[in-house]
Amino acid sequence: MLATAGSVPPGPDWALELKWDGMRCLAYVEAPSPDAVVLVSRAGRRVSGSYPDVARALAAVVGTRRVVLDGEIVVLSDPSAGAPARPSFDRLQLRMGVQKPSPQLVDRAPASFVAFDLLCCDDEPLLGLPYLERRARLERLGLDGQRGLVVSPVLEGLEARTALEVAESHGMEGIVAKRRDAPYRPGRSQAWVKTPLWRTTEAVIGGWAEGRGRHAGAVGAVLLGLPTPTGGLRYIGHVGTGLRDSERDRLHAQLVDVETAGSPFDGPVPEQRSARWTRPTLVAEARFRSWSDDGVLRHSSWRGLRPDRHPDDLAPGLPAGDRRDAAPRGHRRHDRARDP
C-alpha cells in the first residue's frame, strides 16, 4: 500500500505516524529461525541475505507466530552530544545491495526493522480489517523495545503542525497520515497521505556544469558552497532540478560573466572534471529534504538567485537551512526503495 503526497489531513479520522528514512520492506516470518524469515523489497527482490541482523531479530521475537509485516529497514546515525541517533540513509546505503555483509559491516551499520502494519497473523489474512484493528494486533506482538525492532509510533492527540515539529526534532522525513477505518489495499491510495518535510538554504554559487541533451550549452546544474573561515567555500552539493529554460539562459549569462580559472572550493568536488568555476559572488536559494551525514544537500531543487543577499551575509561553515516547510512532493531518488 503506497501513500499519496499531500498536506496532513485534519480531523480525528486520521492517525499520524512518522515517515522513516529507510527502505520499504515486507517481512515474512514463518518459524523461530533466521532462515525462515524472508525480506522482500518494494521492487519485489528478496533482500534477506543483506540484512541477517533484521532476520535474526524477527525470528527471535515473533518466530513462534506466522506473520507478514509491512515496514521499513533503517540504519541509525551515530549519536553525539546534542544530536541523538536518527535514521541515516547514508549509512543504510552501506548495506543496500551487499548480498552477504561481513560481521564487521553489520557491526558498523546495524540495521533495524520498523514495523507499521500487520498483514497476516497465524495464517489469518488481515488486509480487510480497518487500520485501527491491524494496528492493535501489531502492538500485541511485542516487537517494540526489542533489539533491532521498532513499532512506528502513532502521534496521538497532535495537530498537523505539532506532529511535523516532532518529526523535524527527531530527524525524520515527515508524517504519514492513515485513515483509521481503511483496509490495506496494495497500490497508491488516498487512505494514506505522506507529507515530507522540506527546508530551504542560501548558498554561494562556486561553479556550474553544462547540461546535456536539449540543455547542452546551457546551465545543467550549479555547484553550491558555504563560506569557510579561511575565505573559501565548503561544497554542499549541486542543484539543477527546478531550473526553467528561461532561467538557465539568464543564469548562463551571469555565470559566464564571473567565470574564473580556479576553483573557489576547499578541496575537490564530485563535478571537478566537468565544472566551470566562478568567483563566489552570487547567492542562490535551494530547497532540499535533509543534510547527508557529510553535510551535502539531499533531494535538492532550485528556488532562485538572491540578489538581495551577499556571500558575507552567510555564516561561515554553517548550514543556512533554518527555514522549514512541509510540501506534498515525492522523492526524486531511490523512490522505489524508500517510498511508503
What grid cell was written down for 177?
A: 497520515
Strand residue runs (E) in the chain: 2-5, 14-19, 23-29, 37-41, 67-75, 111-121, 124-125, 149-151, 174-179, 188-210, 219-227, 233-239, 275-277, 283-288, 290-291, 297-298, 301-305, 323-326
Residue 281: what residue type? T
**From 19, 100, 178, 194, the catalytic residue:** 19
Distance CA 276, CA 251 (A): 13
Q: Please state the φ and ψ torsions of residue 63, each to the nearest 5 degrees.
A: -65, -20
Distance CA 314, CA 271 (A): 23
From 118, 125, 124, select the one nearest 141 (Cα to Cα): 118
Task: Give me the count of residues in the chain.
Answer: 340
83-121 exposure pattern, b = at least 16 Cβ within 10 A, e = fewer: eeebbbbbbbeebbebeebeeeebeebbbbbbbbbbbbb
Q: Please state the φ and ψ torsions of residue 269, each to the nearest 5 degrees.
A: -125, 155
Question: Is 234 in contact with 295 (CB distance < 8 Å)?
Answer: yes
- 19 belongs to the catalytic site: yes
- Catalytic residue positions? 19
